Amino acid sequence: MPLVGSLGKVKVVYFDLDDTLCAYWDAAKKGLRHAFCEHPEHGASLEDISAAWADAFTEFVQTIGKTHWYQKYLVSGDLTRVELMRRTLERVGVYDEGLAQAMSDTYYVERHAALELFPESLEVLHALFGQYQLGLITNGPSDIQKQEIQTLNIGPYFQHIFIEGDMGYGKPDPRIFAMATDRTGAKPSEVLFVGNSYKHDVVPAQIAGWKTAWIRRPSDVAPSNKTGKPEELPEGAKEPDLTITDLRELLA
C-alpha cells in the first residue's frame, strides 16, 4: 500500500522505535510501579518515590552526555539504570546500594514484560514492506534496543538499523541522518522519517532535507516533561509534512 499522496515521492521510510512503534513509556510506568511497590524498604509513599525518580531522571538525562556515564550507557543500560535508582533513593533519604540494584532489576524485568507494539504498528510495517526501503533509527543502549527489536519481532522489516549505542552518538546528531541517507542511495527529499519527538526526530530530519511525519500519542509524556502533556510544536517552528495520531494515517 502506498503512502499518502501529500508526502510526494518517497523511496525510504525510517522509523523511530520507542513511543513511535512501541509503547515504551507505558511499559516503563508499569515497571516502575512494580519496582516501588515490591520493594517497600525505601519507606516512601508511591507518589513521593515516583516524584523522586522523575526528578532524578530529568537531572541524569540533562547531564549524562557530558559525563563518564555516557560511554557506559551506550554499551549497557544496566549500570545507568542502577545509578538512577541509587539517586532516586538518595532523594528520599535512603542510602542502600543493594536496594538500588534490586529495584533496578525489578524495573527492568517488568518493563520489558510490559513492552508491546502499538496496535497498528505491524499492520503499517507489513503494508509498506517491499514497496519502500524501511529503516530504524533509535536512541538508547545497544543491548536494550537490540533486545526490544528482538522481543517485538520487527527486525526482519528493516533493511537499515541505526542504534545510538552502536554508533556512539544519537539523535539529533546530523551524522546519523547523513549516514542513513547514504546507506539508502536515495536523495534526501525521497526519505521520510516517522517519530514522536519534535526535537530529536522532526527537526534533525528536516535539517537533513528529509520529509517528516510527527506522531503524537497521548501516552507519550516523559518524566522530564513537567507539563504532563504531550510535546507541543514550538512557536514559530517549521511544521512537519504530516502530523498524525495513528501510524495508519501514513497510508493512502
Per the prediction, the chain carries an average pLDDT of 94
Domain co-membership, 120 together with 243: yes
Domain co-membership, 124 together with 39: no
Instruction: Give the other-Cβ count within 10 Å of 195's Cβ.
Output: 27
Per cent of the chain over pLDDT 70 is: 96
| Predicted confidence (pLDDT) at residue 227 exceeds the cutoff of 60 | no
Cell of 166: 552502536
Domain co-membership, 147 together with 187: yes
Domain co-membership, 214 together with 152: yes
* Mean pLDDT confidence for 136-159: 96
Domain co-membership, 108 together with 126: no
| Predicted confidence (pLDDT) at residue 225 exceeds the cutoff of 90 | no
CB 162 within 8 A of CB 137: yes
Strands 191-195, 12-15: pairing kind: parallel
Instruction: Grade residue 221 by pLDDT with cuts at 50, 70 and 90.
Output: low
Strands 160-163, 133-138: pairing kind: parallel
Domain co-membership, 132 together with 209: yes
Domain co-membership, 46 together with 86: yes
CATH number at residue 139: 3.40.50.1000
* Mean pLDDT confidence for 229-241: 83
**How much is the pLDDT for 202?**
96
CB 159 within 8 A of CB 185: no
For residue 98, the enclosing domain spans 26-114
